[in-house]
Amino acid sequence: MYDELVKSLRETRERVRQHPEIAMYVPPYQLSAAADAIEELSLVAESNERGAARWAETVAMAVEQIPRLVPVTERLPKDFESVLCWYEYYHYSKEKILPEYEIGYVINGRWCGEVTNGKDCKVLAWMQLPEPPKEE
Range of the structural domain that residue 106 is part of? 71-128
Question: Containing H/E element for 21?
Answer: helix 20-23
Q: Provide the pLDDT for residue 49.
A: 63
Confidence check: pLDDT of 23 > 70: no
Residue 35 sits in the same domain as residue 77: no
What total of structural domains would you count in the chain? 2
- Is the distance from CB of 107 to CB of 27 less than 8 angstroms? no
Amino acid identity for residue 63 in this structure:
V
CA distance 28 to 52: 25
What is the Rg, in whole angstroms, of the alpha carbon atoms belonging to the chain? 19
Q: Provide the pLDDT for residue 105.
A: 92
Residue 37 sits in the same domain as residue 82: no
Q: Provide the pLDDT for residue 55.
A: 74
> pLDDT tens for residues 40-87?
777 766 666 666 677 777 777 777 777 788 899 999 999 999 998 888
CA distance 12 to 15: 5
